[in-house]
A and B are shown apart, each in its own frame.
Chain A
Amino acid sequence: MPDVTLLSYTQMDVEHLADTPIPAGAGTLQENLIEYAGRVCYRSDAKMGHNPTFIDLRVREGHEDIIEHVRFIFRVQGQPLDREVLKLVSLPTVEFTDLGNGEWIFSMNARNVRDFWRSSDSDLAVQFARLSAPITPAVFRDLPGLEEALI
């Protein structure tokens, strides 16, 4: 089983975002970024944080571009170059570094994490989703088997 570590993910400086409605969101900062991106489309910024299911609803209706704004960097150890890795690196906007001896760096957005989870039954896909879920719970709430990661 590969060993996966979350190295980094989208960070935000709240002080510099005081002119935006992002701090008014009710979720994690990363969820607020996603909600804000969605509200830019509908010009509904004033409703930031008013609807706890905003992201879930957008994801369910297929408006998934908004979850692409949060990205993650993972270190993976003990993962051979197999079909699952090929599946992963063929997703748009996934970047990778092959460090040799089964060690990799993968970076991807939250939509890639979901897409990989859906297309692969590998342990790698589950671990990516488990590590991403606490950062943006609303994005992963509908995926079965992640309840523990979302507590």
Chain B
Amino acid sequence: MTKAKVTLLGYVPTEGVPEPEKHGAATFLVEHISRTCSHQIVRHRLASFSQESQRYVDLKKGGWEPVIPPAIAAKPQARAVLDEAWDDLQTAYRQLREMGIRKEDARFLLPNAAETRLVMTLHYPGLRHFFWLRLDKAAQWEVQDVAHQMLRLIYPLAPNVFQDIWDIYGD
């Protein structure tokens, strides 16, 4: 289980449009994911992204929790190691900020576990490619969950475009 949350913000209807699998598109809000996950998502270069900035948003504003991998969460000793490291990094970040270090430099201490969120728009060719790669059982658990949530949201709106993917990965 991840805490990732995907919301469909908008989509481009394709009723009556020739080759809807080329011209449709969807926009998602992806929240509560790690920077590890977002690094994978933003490699899909055909997509458009707006991601929360660590240059402009201060950690001390709150709302950034570490994303904990299930394998670490399941092992109390491992969890304790991660929690301690996270606390130390937060303390160090705050100390740098109190010394007048700018957010863009203090953020060098933020780990991949740091939570982020982004708005992402993909046309259907790009989204189909994203699904084939990220729904695969070999994909990383967090991005796999994000892709599943996206598929559940977009499939009912464009079943013909995503039927082959739904047949394999749908609920």
A interface residues (Cβ-Cβ under 8 A, vs B): 7-12, 16-17, 19-20, 22, 30, 33, 36-38, 40-43, 65-66, 68-73, 92-93, 95-97, 99, 105, 107, 109, 111
Contact = CB atoms under 8 A, between A and B. Distances in A.
A71 B46 CA distance: 13
Contacts of A72: 12
Interface of B: 7-19, 22-23, 25, 27, 29, 46, 48-53, 56-57, 61, 63, 117-119, 121, 123, 125-126
A12 B123 CA distance: 16
Contacts, number: 109
Given A40-B117, A105-B18, A109-B121, A11 B56 contact: no
Contact of A71 (B7, B8, B52, B123): B123
Given A38-B50, A95-B23, 7 more contacts: A11-B11, A43-B56, A43-B57, A69-B9, A70-B10, A95-B123, A111-B48
Choose among B118, B119, B126 the residue with the greatest number of A CB atoms under 10 Å from its CB. Answer: B119
Given A10-B27, A43-B57, A69 B50 contact: yes
Contacts of B13: 8, 11
A12 B9 contact: yes
Give the interface SS of chain A, mostly helix, strand, loop or mixed: mixed
B12 A40 contact: no
B48 A69 contact: yes
A41 B56 contact: yes
A20 B8 CA distance: 11
B12 A69 contact: no
Interface centre among A22, A38, A40 (most CB of B within 10 A): A40
A125 B23 CA distance: 19
Nearest to B125: A95
Contact of B53 (A11, A20, A41, A66): A41
Contacts of A37: 50, 119
A64 B60 CA distance: 28
A19 B7 contact: yes
Contact of A9 (B12, B46, B48): B12
B18 A17 contact: no
B11 A10 contact: yes
A95 B22 CA distance: 6
